[in-house]
Amino acid sequence: AGKPIKVNLKALLAKGPVVLYFYPKAFTQGCTLEAHAFAEATPEFAAAGATVIGMSNDDLPTLQKFSTAECRDKFTVAAATKDVIKSYDVALKVAGLPVGLTKRTSYVISKSGKIVMVHSDMDYRDHMKLTLEVVQKLKQG
């Protein structure tokens, strides 16, 4: 809802699986449509016990606006620091050089902390669907 909060992955995992999805740039067409898809599927993710977090390296004021306008206050949007980008290997590169954006990559992290799914594709269309399928399967056991 555009309010700054601290995000603690370990605390979130204690509640259930986490979908961590990186997107290149707030307010671009693909990122906006992807955010809408995750926002609309919030009830399904909640029913599977999953938390969704969208991440990019946009500045905080941009993320606050994006959280409200495009994510519709349905899930947390977090700032991807350089360390987070490096840890999740999501730096977007052109000709081998980072361009200051993240790749469009979605992770599903199980309650135990294990990454059980990675989907990296600049086409936004399958990210929500594939991550939802995985968290639903996790709930089923």
pLDDT digits (tens, 9 = 90+) for 100-126: 899 999 999 999 999 999 999 999 999
What pLDDT score was predicted for residue 41? Answer: 98
Q: What is the CA radius of gyration of the chain?
A: 14
Q: Is 71 part of the annotated catalytic residue set? A: no
- Whole-prediction pTM value? 0.94
Instruction: Judge whether residue 3 has pLDDT over 90.
Output: no
Q: Are 122 and 103 in contact (CB under 8 A)?
A: yes
Which one is catalytic: 26, 31, 90, 138? 31
Of all residues in the chain, the percent with pLDDT exceeding 90 is: 90
In whole angstroms, give the CA distance from residue 67 to residue 76: 7
In whole angstroms, give the CA distance from residue 38 to residue 55: 13
pLDDT band at 6 (very low <50, low <70, confident <90, very high): confident
